[in-house]
Amino acid sequence: MHSAKVPLQNPPIKWAEGHKGVFNIEVQAVSSVHTQDNHLEKFFTLCHSLESQVTFPIRVLDQKISEMALEHELKLSIICLNSSRLEPLVLFLHLVLDKLFQLSVQPMVIAGQTANFSQFAFESVVAIANSLHNSKDLSKDQHGRNCLLASYVHYVFRLPELQRDVPKSGAPTALPDPRYHTYGRTSAAAVSSKLLQARVMSSSNPDLAGTHSAADEEVKNIMSSKIADRNCSRMSYYCSGNSDVPSSTTAPRPASKKHFHEELALQMVVSTGMVRETVFKYAWFFFELLVKSMAQHVHNMDKRDSFRRTRFSDRFMDDITTIVNVVTSEIAALLVKPQKENEQAEKMNISLAFFLYDLLSLMDRGFVFNLIRHYCNQLSAKLNNLPTLISMRLEFLRILCSHEHYLNLNLFFMNADTAPTSPCPSISSQVIKELFN
């Protein structure tokens, strides 16, 4: 108990045992709003400084952070998220993951310079997933998946909303800059001057004035190209970043806009060391993130009725091919190790099968059947133990055969006119033969 100086009493009071404390009081703060964890508090505070116009330096706990140091401190806070206490991390898990996913695709300009947090955010998600799986205090389902992560993907995850305001039809067209900007003390002016500055702000440096007519021309170019391409007046953040947007006369944007599913697949491909090992150890989580983000992308872009081959970019399909090949190689490598590694190989094999099962509903099915063929060929070439090979392939194909279109797509028809009509045509769907050889 903290002892304070006792004021003089009149009449004087005689204290027993020299004013010795009789009992101690301990106060424990309980809050559903404040994180009560320094690592989480710093991360959320720095993210808030990007989302709103604040005056620098900002105070985070007992530290003052200037605008120039913001990028470095945010990267440190992302790295230290895994050091947070388990209880507050679990309570704020959905917010932490949402912020990390937003940072992975959100182009940001800090002090006039482009900041990229994609790799740091992805590695932090991997570390958090590993910590949650290794915790003995958290429950797992019958398949060994962490229930918190499974619930997050199923009920909570949504594509990062990078463009806040979508113009209504008939309203004046506006293209809000989807990047975060920071404003130093010198640029903190009256509200009216900030609004005026935002109208003529340079697209590459928020501290430099740009040409208003050039900015308007850039908006018109983007709008006209998207209207012609999609035949709709709705502005979407994901549409505006494609490579087919004509270049404008203004200075180039320092950060290109990204699709979340493409960025996630890219980070899975380029990951190395312990990060890659952890990604494929808990492949189910990242596969389900990929599938759900792809499905939401198709829905948001109104591509449900378009040809499957045009739904996703060639670069993304190449990344998917690389991921499947790497996971297949990892499965084969685990199967030649001692018996204790077989369980992990079986889990990865099942996760990969369900991933391709979901891709049959989203991607070009000829492309997916090629992935299945490569899986079978690659596993056959690397495994000499015939019983293990048969067991893994049969379990893999058992899951795929449960797809509603799998058997129909493998039936042989002498005439294309006699084949049943597909509910969603695939440009290059083909019959993959000799899967069971």
- Domain boundary at 126, 141, 156, which? 141
Q: How far apart are CA 124 and CA 387, in angstroms?
A: 39
State residue 404's pLDDT score: 79
Of the candidates 122, 141, 160, which is a domain's last residue?
A: 141
Lowest mean per-residue pLDDT among 212-216, 360-364, 413-417: 212-216
Q: What is the pLDDT of residues 18-68, one digit of tens each?
A: 777 778 888 877 777 788 899 999 999 999 888 887 888 888 888 888 888
- pLDDT(290) > 50: yes
Is position 80 within any domain?
A: yes
> What integer is the mean pLDDT of 344-362?
93
- Domain containing 320 equals 260-402
The least confident of 106-115, 181-190, 234-243, 263-272 is 234-243
224: CB partners within 8 A, 6+ apart: none
Whether 68 maps to a domain, the answer reads yes
In a domain, 348, yes or no: yes
Confidence at residue 17, expressed as pLDDT on a 0 to 100 scale: 72
Contact 88, 35 (CB under 8 A): yes
Map residue 204 onto helix, strand or coil.
Answer: coil
Cα 251-253-258 angle, rounded to 5 deg: 160
Torsion of CA 28, 31, 37, 39, to 10 degrees: -170
What span, in angstroms and rounded, lies between the C-alpha atoms of 28 and 23?
A: 17
Say how many Å lie between the first and final Cα of the chain, rounded.
Answer: 77
- Nearest-10 Cα torsion for 70, 72, 78, 84: -90
**Domain final position from 108, 141, 174:** 141
- Please count the structural domains in the chain: 2
pLDDT tens per residue, range 388-401 = 888 899 999 999 98
Backbone angles phi, psi at 60, to 5 degrees: -120, 110
Indicate the pLDDT class of residue 227, thresholds 50, 70 and 90.
very low
Q: Chain-wide mean pLDDT for the chain?
A: 75
Write down how long the chain is: 437
315 located within any domain: yes
pLDDT of residue 93: 95
The verdict on residue 391 lying in a domain is yes
Residue 5 domain flag: no
For residue 325, the model assigns a pLDDT of: 95
- Pick from 63-77, 107-121, 182-196, 309-323: least confident: 182-196
Query: In this structure, what token pair is assigned to residue 435?
Result: 């899967």
- Region 366-392: what's the mean pLDDT? 89
Instruction: Answer whether residue 131 is part of any domain.
Output: yes
